[in-house]
Structure 1
Amino acid sequence: MPSTFPRAHRGQLGYRIEQVEEFLKVARRAYDGAALPDDPPVSAETIRLTAFAMQKGGYSTAHVDGALERLEDAFAAEERQIAARLQGDEAWLAEARTTAQVVANRLSRPERARFDRVGPLVLGYRVDEVDRFADKLTRYFRDGWPIGVDDVRTVTFRAQRGGYREAQVDLVLDAVVDVMLAVR
């Protein structure tokens, strides 16, 4: 049976093949409007939040992640078209503007206080790195500074004790992606 994606190098970890294949089958049926009654709902957001177990010799994470990003883009475009038909373009854009304003308000908080912090013995995202990226996002929202959706999707931050709470930062980054996909 041919592989959908290249495999991780010998002895290296990759995504569990069966999970990736099953997810892609469900996503394909959802996109084609042929979802089965037992299929979980699939949206741009669920694609972004999808995670797979790891296995030696599994699918290359870089290749699968790239495919998931393209799939998320396709679902987001379809969701925008449906929402525009049901609500009108202006309502869709108003919702994106509201989300953008909430994000911009969060990012405009003072440095070192933009997000909740974890305890001093707990690892969180490195504050200076998150703040630096938050400044870039602020320029994107305020001045139209060029930054791509892939820059937001792939940003990584090192860990630090007492850093920013990861879940909170990730939620804001997901909202940024939603806004960027909505206004494409």
Structure 2
Amino acid sequence: MSVRDTGAVDATFPRARRNQLGYKTVEVEEFLRRARRAYDGRPAPDDDPLDAERIRLTAFSMQKGGYSTSHVDSALERLEDAFAFRERQIASRLHGDEAWLSEARSTAQVVANRLARPEGARFERVSKLAKGYDVGEVDAFADRLTQYFRDGWPIAIDDVRTVVFSAQRGGYREAQVDLVLDAVVDVMLAVR
């Protein structure tokens, strides 16, 4: 945040309305300071390491009148892209482009193998009493991802990052689906 000549505080992101939930501003601001230090190569001694994957997994508490979730999420996606690009540059210098691409191909093959499983059996299911991701919706999205990996069909990285599935009793185990989607994002960032 910065203070204007008038003394008013200028927020980094637009805020949700006073009665609506947004991200806790203090947490977002601290994370951005930490990310800046990490990106500049000057982390504080007590900073945890930060990379593209950790940025993707970042979550903030909610507060009424906090930062707009859509604006912060968009900024985090751009930040993740910047960190991934820098990580690729460093890995390419240290190990060469071929090693980096080889790892991405290996990850892509693991994901493609998972997606090639029969519909309704691509992921573990939760019990019939618990809710998981809607099997039909996940399988339909998995078919799109299969076309991306197998045929080069276009799909935007934001489509993968922002996909939302309905809940269903006896559906797919959410954590497992989310891990595969994270791996897809990793591959897409690697081959950009």
- Does residue 68 (structure 1) correspond to residue 80 (structure 2)? The answer is no
Match for residue 4 of structure 2?
none
Counterpart for residue 102 of structure 1: 110
**Aligned twin of 2:67:** 59
Letter paired with 1:57: G
How many residue pairs end up in the alignment?
A: 184
Deviations 1:68-109 (A, max 9, x none): 000000000000000000110000000000000000000000
3-state SS of paired residue (1:138)? helix
Q: What does the per-residue CA deviation read over 1:149-177, in whole Å, with 9 as the maximum and x for residues that have no partner? A: 00000000000000000000000000000
- Distance in 2, matches of 1:165 and 1:87, equals 36
For residues 49-79 of structure 1, the C-alpha deviation after alignment (integer angstroms, 9 at most, x for no partner) is 0000000000000000000000000000000
2: CA distance, partners of 1:25 / 1:122? 39
Residue type at the aligned position of 1:135: D
Where in structure 2 are the equivalents of 1:1-184 lying within 5 Å?
1-184=9-192
User: Whole-Å Cα distance in 1 between the matches of residues 36 and 53 of structure 2?
Assistant: 15
Tell me by how many angstroms 1:10 deviates: 2.5
Q: Tell me, what secondary structure is at the counterpart of 1:55?
A: strand
CA RMSD of aligned residues (A): 0.4
Identity value in percent: 77
SS at match of 1:160: strand
Cα deviation, residue 9, structure 1: 1.7
Aligned partner of residue 29 in structure 2, secondary structure: helix
Per-residue deviation, residues 88-145 of structure 1 (Å, max 9, x unmatched): 0000000000000000000000000000000000000000000000000000000000
Q: Considering only CA atoms, is the larger Rg found in Structure 1 or Structure 2? A: 2
**How far off its partner does 1:48 sit?**
0.1
Gaps of 5+ in 1: none
Which segments of structure 1 move beyond 4 Å, counting only runs of 4 or more?
none
TM score, norm. by length of structure 1:
0.99
Structure 2: which 5+ residue stretches go unaligned? 1-8
Structure 2 distance, partners of 1:182, 1:133, is 21
TM (norm. structure 2) is 0.95
